[in-house]
Structure 1
Amino acid sequence: MSSERRTAIVAGVLFLVTEIAAIAGLALYRPVLGGAVGVLAPGADSRAFLGALCEVVLAAAVAGTGVALYPVVKRQGEGIALGYVCGRLLEAAVIAVGILSVLSVVTLRQDLAGAAGVDAASFAAADRSLVALHDWTFLLGPNIALGLNTVLLAYLMYRSRLVPRFIAVLGLVGGPLICASAVAVMFGLYRQVSVPGSAAALPVFAWEVSLAVWLLAKGFKRAPAGSGAVAPAGGHPSLAGA
């Protein structure tokens, strides 16, 4: 197995992990983030801890995709490839801040709810602030940062034809769309977790899933430009002029 084929498999697995972990984390967080201020529903703390673990996996997989793909895509444009790696690391860092905010909400509600002498107004303000912090990280990380990173990688894939161009086009369309949706959410046009918000995220979801499936099944469509070789699906290069 060539190094490019191994890279394709690792990147494909990591992209699938990001989708699964993101959906699982969001679903598990709902009892805490969507509950009443200061109220921790039975079992919500355990679900929040599981959700935090899912998002730790998500952050690691997000950073991993950038690191795994860099050796291949840097041959198509080193500056853009480096920007993609840095963008993915930034996205992972924002997700980590969101994890800490959710865990802080759980701790606050466990330790201070119903305690004697607690200022109810201050408690509620702290609770709402932590929930708002998570909401902003959810908007800036898995939306704006994700959209910008998607455009960078999709552009490299489109130009190099490492994957079929219809897959790259999904990223080139989905990246700006999810960024525009994030701006709409920021200005209060609709909620992030809503029908319009979900619809705007579909092209990016399709891009990442189709990219992952292609990388796992076929690998890179051809060797990076300038290598003097063309690699078939099996990953064994042949001379370009042969």
Structure 2
Amino acid sequence: MSSTRTTAVTAGVFFLITEITAIAGMALYQPILADPNHPGGDGRVLLGGLFELLLVAAVIGSAVTLYPVVKRQNHGLALGYVCARLLEAAIIVVGTISVLSVVTLRQDMAGADNVVSKALLAIHEWAFLLGPNFVLGANSLMLAALMYRSRLVPRAIAVLGLIGGPLICVSATAVLFGLYEQLSPVGALAALPVFAWEVSLALYLIIKGFRRAAPTATLPH
């Protein structure tokens, strides 16, 4: 397997891991997010934290793996993509720490101040809005633009990112101003294009790899 093919497969696997771990982590967190005094379930939350750490590793891994390839198209935009992915990962870590801190309060302080627990969960909620919504939308748009112009993957796949990135940012803005909840049906619908973008990109890279006919530099530097 050539180095380019290996890079494509590795990046695709990282993208699949981000989707799996993000969904698993959120599902495992649900009881404590709904009620910080939810009886038991600390082990479930800790497992969710582990999935979130795997998510962080996959987010960083996808950016680092793709950088040597996409920088040939536009170095500045490729660097911006890596920085945005690192920022997304950092925000996810903040949210993870806040939820795990609630578990510590419950275990070591016999269900200490409920106000503190709610404040920590509020931090997680804001981190979720800023990281896997605003920042994810921005880095999706940057990578999709690189893929669209370079034709490293079919343009139909890149279009999903060009649509999904701005759409999830608009949705996050609506949530920011209280038009609907993050996990409402409207919010979930707005997230579908960016989800489809990442999954289709992952599968294409794993199965097909980068298109050989792609030009080496199509964007202005």
* Fold conserved between structures, TM > 0.5: yes
CA distance in 2, matches of 1:205, 1:223: 26
Structure 1: runs of 5 or more not aligned: 228-242
Q: 103, 107, 126: which one pairs with 2:104?
A: 107
Larger fraction in helix: 2
The percent identity for this pair of structures is: 64
Superposed CA deviations along residues 71-125 of structure 1, whole A, max 9, x for unmatched, are 00000000000000111011001001111001101111222336xxx7xxxx122
Counterpart for residue 222 of structure 1? 212
Name which one, 1 or 2, has greater alpha-carbon Rg: 1
Counterpart for residue 238 of structure 1? none
Superposed CA deviations along residues 128-164 of structure 1, whole A, max 9, x for unmatched, are 1100000000010110110000000000000000000
Counterpart for residue 50 of structure 2? 53
Amino acid at match of 1:93: A
Q: Which fold has the larger relative contact order, with Cα–Cα distance below 8 Å and residues 6 or more apart in sequence?
A: 2
CA distance in 1, matches of 2:206, 2:38: 42
Structure 2: runs of 5 or more not aligned: none
Is the contact between residue 174 and residue 204 of structure 1 (CA under 8 Å) also seen in structure 2?
yes
CA distance in 2, matches of 1:31, 1:195: 19
Counterpart for residue 7 of structure 2? 7
Amino acid at match of 2:123: L
Residues 224 and 82 of structure 1, relative CA distance in 2, 3 Å threshold = farther
CA distance in 2, matches of 1:223, 1:72: 14
Q: Say which SS state the counterpart of residue 212 (structure 2) adopts.
A: coil
CA distance in 1, matches of 2:216, 2:131: 34
Q: 167, 172, 185: which one pairs with 1:177?
A: 167
CA distance in 2, matches of 1:223, 1:75: 14
CA distance in 2, matches of 1:15, 1:124: 37
CA distance in 2, matches of 1:148, 1:162: 20
**2:93 paired with 1:96:** yes
**2:188 paired with 1:191:** no
- Give the structure-1-normalised TM-score: 0.87
Superposed CA deviations along residues 1-38 of structure 1, whole A, max 9, x for unmatched, are 22110100000000000000000000000111111x4x
Over the aligned positions, Cα root-mean-square deviation in angstroms equals 1.3
Q: Say which SS state the counterpart of residue 17 (structure 1) adopts.
A: helix
**2:196 paired with 1:209:** no
Residues 226 and 211 of structure 1, relative CA distance in 2, 3 Å threshold = closer
> Where do 4+ consecutive residues of structure 1 move more than 3 Å?
none
CA distance in 1, matches of 2:71, 2:137: 20
Superposed CA deviations along residues 189-235 of structure 1, whole A, max 9, x for unmatched, are 110011001000000000000000100110001265248xxxxxxxx
Equivalent residue pairs, number:
217
Residues 160 and 40 of structure 1, relative CA distance in 2, 3 Å threshold = same
Is the contact between residue 161 and residue 222 of structure 1 (CA under 8 Å) also seen in structure 2?
no
Amino acid at match of 1:142: P
Once the two structures are TM-superposed, the CA of residue 127 in structure 1 deviates from its matched residue by: 1.2
Amino acid at match of 1:153: L
